[in-house]
Amino acid sequence: MYYIGIDLAKCTFTITGLITPSNLLFYGKTLENTRQGFEQFLQLLSSSVLTNENSRLIMESTGVYGDKIRHFLYAQQYVICVEPAAYIRRAFRLKSKTDPIDSRMIAEYGFRVSLFDELTGI
């Protein structure tokens, strides 16, 4: 399974993809939070081994900033996990905060939660 963390902002979003926390596919790629940026993101996903069947996209609940991309990706049949920012922040003890670091942290959070689900049978 592949985990893609999406850190959303008003005008941009930053993505990091990983297989495990130490095995990154890409790190800190920033795109415009527009239809064109969504299309570029989809091209990045489809040009690699990532499909809607083997990928989980994770984003923080950011209100309206994530609505358009979430609907766009849902229409492409991707599984999108929207998590409260407080849950993700509590899982890490990082002092620095940048969009690339946040996107990686979100992807790793998705990895950790799925691993926990596998271990507990949820």
- Whether 92 and 105 have beta carbons less than 8 Å apart is answered as yes
Q: Give the alpha-carbon dihedral of 15, 20, 23, 24, to 10 degrees.
A: 0
Per residue in 48-96, pLDDT (tens digit) is 788 889 999 999 998 888 999 999 999 999 989 999 988 888 888 776 6
Terminal Cα-to-Cα distance of the chain (whole angstroms): 17
- Whether 84 and 66 have beta carbons less than 8 Å apart is answered as no
Q: Which residues pair with 83 in a beta bridge?
A: 60
The conformation of residue 1, written as its DSSP 8-state character, comes to -
Alpha carbon distance 4, 24 (integer Å): 10
Predicted model pTM: 0.89
CA angle 53-117-83, nearest 5°?
A: 75
| 10 vs 120 pLDDT, higher one | 10
Average pLDDT, the chain: 89
Residue 118 has pLDDT above 70, yes or no: no
